[in-house]
Structure 1
């Protein structure tokens, strides 16, 4: 017996609704803050501090501009957040090494060179140093903040390393304690060099800093204890 069209319709399976697309898990506040900071660092690196726009930071971070303002009130706050996120922890870790490391001053300097290269000079965070060199004079409040939070603390670490070396009988000059800028200068040179010439004549940051370490130690009358 032939089936009527109505019978065929009754036996056909009902079409199923397409599966719902799962939403990506929402970021927590810490992840969203980190995303905004990463976007700000990329914008500052590409356009400079003066040229960067909060609209572009928000767009790159994938958030509404209003959301950005929940975390950072302006570009200056973003810059301070980047320093706190990328540079301040390096200084804290370096301070712990200087205070607790049991080895020689040369070995300590090797560890600090590795830390500086791995966490700053060979990462996008080096753009913060470059920004201060290029634009610090135009933004004196930011320069004062950077000097207080990064430069002063970094120079204090160098003085502590020199005092430690003298106390251990490994060096016999306090010149770097009086002028710690002599020790940190190659890190700044490395940032400037690679930002200007890195595309066609890159500087090996680690070897450059190690060569400067050897030159400084020889000039200080280095003695292995």
Structure 2
């Protein structure tokens, strides 16, 4: 992923936050292809050339902005894992689903960008950015699966690679269902109150328990 240049990292923290917030808004509203550096510069009241000095290109700005968003998601997931670890593998999984729900409620623009990229847009960085998401997911889930097998919670013949794939797919589609009605697929969580979402998350985890458990 792209790193910001020194001209950006040397800015005061509040100015860096303002640039990234405006970039999130631009990409969330218009997607990558429709995002305008002229419009972004006007919103920030800076010269367009400054943006290119900071990131090199629109691709560089997107890569940096979305990379920071992925990092932002890692912290609450890690906290959920540590908080629920004593409850075992399936409680960690349930808490991970609920943490994802809370994250997109707090940062809806980040998830809107992800959905645009996933379903609507093709651009040079697409595979690179999606690869980063998949790698972060695997890094999160693989240790949980291996620990679950070692503790005897999960079947000893469980294929860790397939398990990680299923868990990533579950979390990803669960969050998509929360944000987009056509992707709900009959789960009934789009626009649903929290208690319904929590109940359905528990049911999904119980469904996996019957297939994964020792």
| Change over 3 Å in CA distance of 1:132–1:181 after alignment to 2 | farther
User: Going by fraction, where is helix more abundant, 1 or 2?
Assistant: 2
SS in structure 2 opposite 1:182?
helix
Aligned pair 1:84/2:76, yes or no?
no
Shift of 1:151: 0.8
Contact 1:121 / 1:187 at 8 angstroms: preserved in 2? Answer: no
Where does residue 211 of structure 2 map in the other structure?
Answer: 219
Whole-Å separation in 2 of the counterparts to 1:42 and 1:51: 12
Structure 2: gaps of 5 or more residues = 1-10, 183-189
1:6-155 equivalence runs, <5 A: 29-91=12-74, 94=77, 102-103=85-86, 104-120=88-104, 123=107, 124-135=109-120, 138-139=122-123, 141-155=124-138
CA RMSD of superposed structures (Å): 3.2
Q: Which has the larger radius of gyration?
A: 1
Whole-Å separation in 1 of the counterparts to 2:174 and 2:213: 26
Shift of 1:153: 2.4
Where does residue 6 of structure 2 map in the other structure?
Answer: none
Comparing 160-169 with 143-152, which one deviates more in the overlay?
Answer: 143-152
| Change over 3 Å in CA distance of 1:192–1:117 after alignment to 2 | closer
Whole-Å separation in 1 of the counterparts to 2:59 and 2:201: 31
1:184 to 157, 161, 168: 168
TM-score, normalised via structure 2 length = 0.72
| Change over 3 Å in CA distance of 1:157–1:92 after alignment to 2 | same
Report the number of matched residues: 192
Shift of 1:130: 0.7
Shift of 1:63: 2.9
